[in-house]
């Protein structure tokens, strides 16, 4: 199955209306704090909160939500699962969460009730209710951790379904139906992100969304919206700009599509969060429209490993089969020694030992709660292996030569930005008493420097492939927050001073607010203008930001990478800019430095707001956060900030804490099948902190 454009569409246009889910389930941690029907946050002392009187596990914001959800909750077996069967689950199963199992129970009930789970699809082990279940036999044969979880989950599902009262359904042989439903949830569900912070739960959507295929250079993204209250859903449904296409699929697959078209899934999950697909680049009539299921800021090898471990397919999109490989893949993976060679002569270096160092450092951060050890290990690695240019004396005799855009470096920047931010927040309370102010300021400055470099390198890749605007928008917001936090940390700087500077700033391209759906050439021009403004501002503050950071002092500017060689990159600097860049020396933190850093922060946040409106539309939590920051309504130190995002490869174990589903994203963006958390190859782990 695939989705193709019904007509030619321009950048930043919604391709679908608000698609209602087949089934949803909050993550376990949010069951007591959010409504299990509409996913809204419950008030601290809510007057109208209703709970399930039998299991007492689900709560609702009002009687209307309770009435809309209670039938599915009771009849699917979810209530019985909480009462009688959750205690039978293994500790490891419970610790990883039960949202996928509960979503599978709900999905199976809904499909059975509406005749969308046919015996043909069950026998063929391919689809259930139009949703793909391919790869399940391979998973069960391999017998890995996911197979064990599926077997235990299907047994718990079967027991809960048999316990429900007045059931009239025939149970499948050898738990086949339960296994298929659970696998369909695992590979088709998306993490629901309605605001900043952790994803609140999972949702499974019908063919109108699930039939969008994956591409490593996607042409579309998606966002979540809350269901409308007391309104006719039919009046909300807009014409879709996409149509399904297929070759030789079973009749029940089209039955599922036709059901959605004729009846809408509104009745299946009345108040569950909706999803809207939006194009991020121009699409011609008849072209396939794709989203991404994973982090696209990875090498081809890492992307293929990710897709195979999660979805059991090998990607054959244009990016993956291109020969020679695209510039973005070349630059993410090649050794600095190969940057001045022709693209078809570049070889992939073996850098497993550097990856191991990075993994060990991140483990110090997440498992051992030692961000200092993490920073020391990664910065030592960068200092020993990162080069600033292609001079022979720098590269001769080295085993590994990393350049600033290598995927190892991008992951290092992200981790260091997070670790230094965490260290700064840890010192903030102490600094209020006048102690450790120098250390606090140094940590805040380092966090800002690494955040800016991460945004700059991603912007460089974005200029070659506009799909990278998805992670770029999040990195820009994080950079803006870190720079504002640095300015706020200066003794004597009040919120009023900073707010006044915000409103007097004129450092951002004026075209960024004129058109939410601009022609592509205007969009490109605006992005280039933002990039040049960031470059101009960084010329005057970068050397200050990187003081006492040897690994960054090698990098002349976070937005300028002409030192990589003329074969792979054309410099955008004028001769005058090059003179300023080479002559710029470290200086103290003056009033002019403060103004420059503040202007750079506002530029990054404005750029984020612009890109978010393209990716997701103006009504999105990312755009809202950028707006709040620009208006100065809330101090940075009192807003949620990303502390850590981590990745793992197929042969490593998940770290604890946060949530660990792909998507995204802080950086959870709603662009991956499970809300990819955007950084180098993650099954994301992230956590937020409020001061």
Give the pLDDT mean for 656-668.
32
* The pLDDT of residue 251 is above 90: no
3-state SS of 590-637 is CHHHHHHHHHHHHHHHHHHHHHHHHHCCCCCHHHHHHHHHHHCCCCHH
Nearest partner of 263 among 22, 581, 488, judged by Cα: 22
Give the lowest-confidence range in 163-167, 267-271, 339-343.
339-343
pLDDT reported for residue 666: 34
Bridge partners of 688, per DSSP, are: 642
Where in 226-382 does DSSP place strands (E)? Answer: 242-245, 274-279, 290-291
Give the pLDDT mean for 153-164.
90
Burial string for 298-329 (b: 16+ CB within 10 Å, else e) reads bbbebbbbbbebbbbbebebebbeeeebbebb
Query: Using CA atoms, how far apart are residues 250 and 683, in angstroms rounded to an integer?
Result: 33
Query: Using CA atoms, how far apart are residues 607 and 530, in angstroms rounded to an integer?
Result: 6
Phi-psi region of 242 (alpha: psi -120 to 50; beta: other; left: phi over 0): beta
Assign 466 a pLDDT band (cuts: 50, 70, 90): very high
Give the pLDDT mean for 645-659.
32
pLDDT reported for residue 515: 55
Where in 59-188 does DSSP place strands (E)? Answer: 59-60, 127-128, 131-132
Give the lowest-confidence range in 243-247, 509-513, 556-560.
509-513
Nearest partner of 215 among 298, 323, 294, 117, judged by Cα: 294
Tokens of 197: 């912070």
Q: Which comes out higher in pLDDT, residue 35 or 643?
A: 35
pLDDT reported for residue 434: 59
| Distances, alpha carbon 255 to alpha carbons 26, 114, 180, 258, 344, in Å | 29, 11, 18, 5, 48
* The pLDDT of residue 8 is above 70: yes
Give the pLDDT mean for 226-254.
67
* The pLDDT of residue 315 is above 60: yes
* The pLDDT of residue 234 is above 60: no
Q: For residues 220 and 289, is the Cβ–Cβ distance under 8 A? A: yes
124 contacts: CB under 8 Å, gap ≥ 6: 250
Q: Rounded to 10 degrees, what is the CA torsion of 569, 574, 577, 578?
A: 60
Give the pLDDT mean for 122-140.
78
Where in 34-88 does DSSP place strands (E)? Answer: 50-51, 59-60
Three-state SS at 658: coil
Three-state SS at 454: helix
* The pLDDT of residue 405 is above 60: yes
Strands 220-225 vs 50-51: parallel, antiparallel or unpaired: unpaired
Give the pLDDT mean for 201-211.
92
Q: For residues 604 and 474, is the Cβ–Cβ distance under 8 A? A: no
Between CA 299 and CA 413, with CA 674 as vertex, the angle to 5 degrees is: 45
Q: For residues 387 and 399, is the Cβ–Cβ distance under 8 A? A: no
Q: For residues 643 and 691, is the Cβ–Cβ distance under 8 A? A: no
Give the pLDDT mean for 291-309.
92
Three-state SS at 379: helix
* The pLDDT of residue 202 is above 90: yes
pLDDT reported for residue 641: 43
Query: Using CA atoms, how far apart are residues 67 and 450, in angstroms rounded to an integer?
Result: 50
List pLDDT tens digits, range 468-515: 999 999 999 999 999 999 988 775 454 455 555 554 445 566 544 455
Phi-psi region of 77 (alpha: psi -120 to 50; beta: other; left: phi over 0): left
Which of the listed ranges 49-63, 129-143, 390-404 does the model predict with the highest average pLDDT? 49-63
Q: For residues 42 and 275, is the Cβ–Cβ distance under 8 A? A: no
Three-state SS at 222: strand
Residue 223 DSSP label: E
* The pLDDT of residue 137 is above 50: yes
Query: Using CA atoms, how far apart are residues 222 and 438, in angstroms rounded to an integer?
Result: 43
Query: Using CA atoms, how far apart are residues 574 and 229, in angstroms rounded to an integer?
Result: 55
Phi-psi region of 186 (alpha: psi -120 to 50; beta: other; left: phi over 0): alpha
**Cα 658 to the chain's mean position, in Å?**
14
Query: Using CA atoms, how far apart are residues 360 and 646, in angstroms rounded to an integer?
Result: 12
Q: Which comes out higher in pLDDT, residue 388 or 343?
A: 388
Q: What is the Cβ-side half-sphere exposure of residue 96, based on CA atoms within 13 angstroms?
A: 18
147 contacts: CB under 8 Å, gap ≥ 6: 139, 140
Helix axes of 591-615 and 437-462: crossing angle, nearest 10 degrees: 40
List pLDDT tens digits, range 13-50: 999 999 999 999 999 999 999 999 999 999 877 677 89
Bridge partners of 433, per DSSP, are: none
Nearest partner of 24 among 118, 109, 93, judged by Cα: 109
Q: For residues 379 and 416, is the Cβ–Cβ distance under 8 A? A: yes
Backbone φ, ψ for residue 550 (5° rounding): -55, -35
The DSSP code sequence of 287-326 is -B-EE-SS-SSS-HHHHHHHHHHHHS----SHHHH-SSPP
Tokens of 144: 């890995």
Q: Give the whole-number percent of the chain exceeding pLDDT 90.
A: 43
List pLDDT tens digits, range 582-592: 444 444 567 77
List pLDDT tens digits, range 70-129: 999 999 999 999 998 888 888 988 888 999 999 999 999 998 888 777 555 565 557 888
Tokens of 283: 């699409």
Give the burial class of 575: count Cβ atoms within 10 A of its Cβ; 0-12 exposed, 13-18 middle, 19 or more buried. Answer: exposed
pLDDT reported for residue 207: 87
Q: For residues 632 and 646, is the Cβ–Cβ distance under 8 A? A: no
Tokens of 164: 């429900």
Three-state SS at 585: coil
Nearest partner of 412 among 135, 646, 62, 145, judged by Cα: 646
pLDDT reported for residue 43: 84
Query: Using CA atoms, how far apart are residues 308 and 288, in angstroms rounded to an integer?
Result: 22
Residue 245 DSSP label: E
pLDDT reported for residue 639: 46
Phi-psi region of 84 (alpha: psi -120 to 50; beta: other; left: phi over 0): alpha
C-beta neighbour count of 633 within 10 angstroms: 11
Q: Rounded to 10 degrees, what is the CA torsion of 181, 187, 189, 195?
A: 150
pLDDT reported for residue 58: 95
């Amino acid at each position: 199955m695939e989705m193709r454009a019904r007509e030619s569409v321009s950048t930043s246009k919604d391709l679908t209306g608000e698609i209602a889910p087949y089934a949803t389930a909050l993550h376990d941690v949010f069951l007591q704090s959010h409504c299990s029907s509409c996913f809204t946050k419950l008030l601290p002392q809510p007057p109208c909160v209703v709970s399930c009187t039998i299991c007492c596990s689900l709560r609702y914001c009002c009687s209307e939500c309770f009435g809309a959800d209670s039938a599915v909750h009771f009849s699917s077996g979810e209530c019985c699962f909480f009462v009688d069967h959750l205690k039978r689950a293994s500790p490891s199963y419970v610790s990883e969460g039960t949202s996928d199992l509960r979503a599978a129970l709900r999905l199976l009930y809904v499909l059975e009730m509406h005749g969308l789970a046919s015996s043909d699809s069950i026998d063929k082990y391919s689809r259930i209710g139009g949703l793909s279940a391919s790869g399940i036999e391979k998973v069960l044969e391999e017998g890995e951790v996911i197979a064990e979880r599926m077997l235990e989950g299907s047994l718990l599902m079967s027991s809960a379904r048999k316990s429900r009262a007045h059931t009239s359904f025939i149970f499948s042989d050898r738990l086949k139906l339960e296994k298929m439903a659970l696998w369909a949830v695992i590979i088709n569900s998306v993490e629901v992100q309605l605001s900043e912070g952790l994803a609140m739960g999972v949702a499974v959507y019908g063919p109108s969304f699930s039939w969008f295929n994956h591409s490593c250079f996607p042409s579309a993204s998606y966002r979540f919206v809350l269901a409308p209250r007391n309104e006719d859903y039919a009046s909300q449904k807009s014409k879709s700009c996409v149509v399904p296409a297929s070759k030789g699929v079973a009749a029940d697959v089209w039955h599922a599509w036709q059901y959605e078209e004729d009846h809408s899934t509104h009745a299946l999950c009345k108040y569950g969060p909706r999803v809207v697909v939006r194009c991020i680049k121009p699409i011609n009539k008849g072209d396939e429209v794709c989203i991404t299921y994973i982090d696209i800021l990875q090498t081809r090898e890492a992307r293929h490993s990710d897709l195979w471990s999660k979805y059991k397919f090998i990607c054959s999109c244009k990016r993956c089969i291109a020969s020679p490989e695209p510039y973005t893949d070349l630059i993410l993976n090649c050794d600095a020694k190969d940057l001045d060679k022709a693209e078809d002569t570049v070889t992939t270096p073996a850098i497993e030992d550097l990856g191991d160092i990075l993994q060990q450092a991140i483990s110090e951060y997440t498992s051992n709660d030692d961000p200092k050890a993490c920073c020391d290990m990664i910065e030592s690695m960068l200092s020993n292996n990162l080069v600033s240019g292609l001079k022979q004396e720098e590269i001769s005799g080295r085993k590994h030569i990393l350049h600033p855009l290598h995927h190892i470096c991008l992951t290092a920047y992200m981790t260091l930005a997070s670790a230094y931010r965490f260290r700064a927040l840890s010192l903030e309370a102490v600094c209020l008493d006048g102690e450790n102010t120098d250390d606090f300021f140094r940590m805040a400055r380092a966090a800002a420097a690494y955040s800016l470099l991460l945004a700059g390198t991603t912007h460089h890749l974005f200029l070659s492939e506009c799909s990278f605007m998805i992670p770029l928008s999040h990195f820009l917001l994080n950079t803006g927050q870190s720079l504002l936090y640095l300015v706020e940390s200066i003794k004597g700087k009040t919120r009023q001073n900073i707010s006044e500077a915000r409103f007097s700033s004129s450092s951002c391209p004026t075209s960024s607010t004129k058109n939410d759906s601009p022609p592509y050439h205007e969009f490109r021009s605006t992005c280039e203008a933002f990039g040049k403004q960031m470059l101009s501002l960084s010329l005057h503050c970068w050397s200050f930001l990187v003081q006492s950071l040897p690994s960054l002092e090698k990098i002349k500017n976070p937005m300028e990478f002409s030192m990589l060689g003329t074969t792979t990159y054309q410099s955008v600097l004028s001769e005058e800019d090059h003179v300023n860049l080479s002559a710029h020396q470290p200086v103290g933190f003056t009033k002019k430095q403060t103004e420059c850093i503040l202007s750079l922060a506002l530029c990054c946040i404005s750029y984020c707001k612009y890109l978010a409106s393209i990716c997701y539309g103006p009504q999105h939590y990312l755009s809202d956060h950028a707006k709040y920051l620009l208006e100065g309504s809330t101090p940075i130190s009192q807003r949620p900030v990303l502390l850590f995002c981590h990745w793992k490869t197929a042969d490593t174990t998940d770290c604890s804490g946060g949530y660990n589903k792909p998507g995204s994203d802080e950086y959870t963006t709603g662009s991956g099948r499970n809300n990819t958390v955007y950084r180098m190859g993650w099954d994301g782990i992230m956590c937020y902190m409020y001061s």
